[in-house]
Chain A
């Protein structure tokens, strides 16, 4: 028998996840540039691949890097998830390492900075904040409840 090569020609591909409804499998759309023979212009040509995602970490819209498996896992699944390059909604800029939204940097929401004085305990700090469910008299009258 001839030498067994990898099951597919494409060893590494990048694509966008379009479906995660299958069991531990991600449906990935890969676009490649193909030259139109008359216009001599490059257009995106799509192809869908199925990739094995053991930890179910993909969401729809992620950009993922797939690696070809040495032999096909099933009739359609011939790749596995190598890494999630850009997670949808949580893109991290590789140059700075900060999280990014479109063309803006984004500060992830952290808890309020807790600055305790020297002789202050946490309970005293909480008392300072004056959080209580009892209505305080001096405040403005509570807002009218919208009639349902």
Chain B
């Protein structure tokens, strides 16, 4: 049973996660002005159709706004945190070209992304035990080959605390 719509692959999680433009922290707003007709806006239209969902998926906190048929030439405008604005002319450009250019000027580089992924992995160390939300396991009793949880099966008599204290007291 095929998916509905034009290019429904755009609506898959795998496609959204494949997006490679992650904006730097300074970028707050992205605005795309393009036209619905005309050869020159073709690249911009394809960019909006294919790449904007990927960008928004990867940058949840950036406001993306589209404006149609406001000016004769298509362009992108980015509003950064300190009031700076970046204008990108996309007239006549291909959508692949546009996304590469945007990535080059305002996207995080591969190394920065990998360093961030590494830092995240270190935080979630599998060697840590704790609440399910943060760690893999809560107690060593969950691991195969370790002493089973005393809540479910009784410990052998020699390992219980009361037997040990009794033995220690009897020896003195």
> Size class of B's contact patch?
20 to 34
B154 at the interface (CB under 8 A from A): no
Our count of residue pairs bridging A and B at CB distance below 8 angstroms stands at 69
Complex interface: chain B residues within 8 A of A65 (CB): 29, 79
Which of B13, B16, B35, B72 is packed against the most chain A CB atoms within 10 Å?
B72
Choose among A32, A39, A102 the residue that contacts B70 (Cβ–Cβ < 8 A).
Answer: A102
Complex interface: chain B residues within 8 A of A63 (CB): 67
- B11 contacts A86, CB within 8 Å? no
- B69 contacts A35, CB within 8 Å? no
Task: Give the number of chain A interface residues (Cβ < 8 Å).
Answer: 30
B56 at the interface (CB under 8 A from A): yes
Complex interface: chain B residues within 8 A of A40 (CB): 11-13, 16
The A60-110 residues at the B interface (CB cut-off 8 A) are: 63, 65, 67, 82, 85-86, 91, 93-96, 100, 102-105
B63 at the interface (CB under 8 A from A): yes
Tell me which of B81-89, B96-104, B117-125, B162-170 binds A.
B81-89
Tell me which of A10-18, A19-27, A113-121, A130-138 binds B.
A10-18
The B1-20 residues at the A interface (CB cut-off 8 A) are: 11-13, 16
Choose among B13, B64, B81 the residue that contacts A33 (Cβ–Cβ < 8 A).
Answer: B64
A48 CB, min distance to chain B CBs, angstroms: 15
- B65 contacts A31, CB within 8 Å? yes
Complex interface: chain A residues within 8 A of B108 (CB): none
Complex interface: chain A residues within 8 A of B69 (CB): 102-103
Given known pairs A31-B65, A39-B11, A42-B52, the reply for A103 and B38 (CB within 8 Å) is: yes
Complex interface: chain B residues within 8 A of A91 (CB): 70-71
B78 CB, min distance to chain A CBs, angstroms: 11
Residue of B nearest to A105 (CB): B72
Choose among B56, B57, B72, B77 the residue that contacts A100 (Cβ–Cβ < 8 A).
Answer: B72
- B87 contacts A14, CB within 8 Å? no
Bound state CA distance, A104 and B67, in angstroms? 15
- B56 contacts A95, CB within 8 Å? no
The B34-70 residues at the A interface (CB cut-off 8 A) are: 35, 37-38, 52-53, 56-57, 63-65, 67, 69-70
Bound state CA distance, A64 and B117, in angstroms? 36
Complex interface: chain A residues within 8 A of B11 (CB): 39-41
- A13 contacts B71, CB within 8 Å? no
Please give the residue numbers on chain B whose beta carbons come within 8 Å of chain A beta carbons, in ascending order.
11-13, 16, 28-29, 31, 35, 37-38, 52-53, 56-57, 63-65, 67, 69-73, 75, 77, 79, 81, 83, 87, 89
Please give the residue numbers on chain A whose beta carbons come within 8 Å of chain B beta carbons, in ascending order.
10-14, 30-33, 35, 39-42, 63, 65, 67, 82, 85-86, 91, 93-96, 100, 102-105
Q: Would you give 11 A-B contacts (Cβ < 8 Å), ordered by A?
A: A12-B28, A12-B29, A14-B65, A32-B64, A35-B57, A40-B16, A41-B53, A94-B75, A94-B77, A96-B73, A103-B69
